[in-house]
Amino acid sequence: MNLSRADLFKIQLLTNYPKPGYEIWFSIVIDPVNQKAFWLRYTTFFPDPSLNLQPKFVLWGSFFDTKNASNHTYLAKSFSIDTISMSGDHYQHPSATLSLDKLTGNIASDKFSLSWQLFYQHQFEAFDYAPNLIKNSFLKYFVKAHSVACSPFAKVNGNITYKNQEYLLNNASAVLTHIWGSERIEQLFWVFAPIFDNDFEGWGVEIAIVKVKTFLPQITVVKILHNNNLYYDLSLLSVLSAKVRINYPELEIKARCKEFKLMVKARLNTSQITPYIYRNPDGKPFYIEQSDVSEIFCLIEKNGKKQELFSKNMAAVEFHGREAWSSRNYLDPYYQK
């Protein structure tokens, strides 16, 4: 379902959403010119009142550098929920602002600082991720998380500053997504490859593999960009027919999207991983590992014609689940002092 982008802020701001619950705006920016990638996340979190957790606003940021892995860093800082203000088209905090066209912010630790000013050029209409399988059946009553693609395959200008070094962005590739709900999904795997090393036809791929509940079927949603056209398919055949093999840190996916068939192999870049803990409103942790300078190989077939595409280090890959994926020290901003 296509949505008016102007209405997206009116869907579920948590000032009106039943609590406990959460709301997320996140963006990934992949910049092939500077060979950098950036991951940003704005979260409001209202835990179950019975828990020893306070409502918070959390600002997250991660920096990836294909030229120098030692530059990789990830930061998160939590603030009182009272420090943010939300209106019909704007979301403001002393350290960050968010609208559908502009994201700004700054976050720092004792060793690092990261700031950004991003201007979004929307290329395609927004749409609701929920497949017809859920929206048009009783299954919708079991789904307590919602997601909207606010700006698929966006272009971004502006700048990001890391360790006092400014990087100018000129038509960098990005995605902007809005998520909210009262429970997190059980498991998610995500791949975003807006550019390929050997591409001359404007290909891009985004795949979300979602397990909302253990007793519900796995859903796979594919978006394909080709020659400035966006294709996505929420039909029953497409969302349920994908075959997925998970072998951390690798993913292998066979899926379809309208007249396209895909075979994707993606591998998390283990030298630059951002490990976070997200909290469910009931306090339970979800473990996230993601890297936006990962590797992907994609075989796309249409009408018998096959196209092989690859990117050595300009794809985003995410693992999301109830158990830790490795022995890494996961950053948990909800328990920061």
We report the CATH number of the domain holding residue 159 as 2.40.370.10
In a domain, 336, yes or no: no
DSSP 222-252: EEEEETTEEEE--SHHHHHH-EEEEETTEEE
CA proximity to 107, closest of 46, 155, 41 = 41
Domain count along the chain: 1
DSSP 81-114: GGG-EE-SS-EEETTEEE-SSEEEEEEE-SS-EE
Structure tokens at 303: 């009408």
In a domain, 306, yes or no: yes
Q: 15-65, pLDDT tens digit by residue?
A: 555 578 888 999 999 999 999 999 999 998 888 888 887 888 999 999 999
Q: 250-271, pLDDT tens digit by residue?
A: 999 999 999 999 999 999 999 9
In a domain, 214, yes or no: yes
Are the beta carbons of 256 and 262 closer than 8 angstroms?
A: yes
Vertex 94: Cα angle to 181 and 178 (nearest 5): 25
Give me the mean pLDDT over the 200-228 stretch. 90
Among 11-25, 65-79, 190-204, the range scoring the smallest mean pLDDT is: 11-25
In a domain, 243, yes or no: yes
Amino acid symbol at 169: L
Direct distance between the N- and C-terminal alpha carbons of the chain, in angstroms, rounded to an integer = 42
pTM exceeds 0.85: yes
Q: 128-156, pLDDT tens digit by residue?
A: 766 555 665 656 666 677 888 889 999 99
- Residue 181's pLDDT is what? 86
Range of the domain at 83: 2-323
In a domain, 292, yes or no: yes
With a cut of 90, say whether residue 91 has pLDDT above it: no
Are the beta carbons of 46 and 37 closer than 8 angstroms?
A: no
In a domain, 113, yes or no: yes
Are the beta carbons of 148 and 124 closer than 8 angstroms?
A: no
pLDDT band for position 89 (cuts 50, 70, 90): low
For the chain, what is the total number of helices (H) and then of strands (E)? 2, 23
In a domain, 28, yes or no: yes
Residue with tokens 């957790």: 53
In a domain, 335, yes or no: no
- Residue 88's pLDDT is what? 61
Question: Does residue 20 have a cis peptide bond before it, meaning omega lies within 30 degrees of 0?
Answer: yes
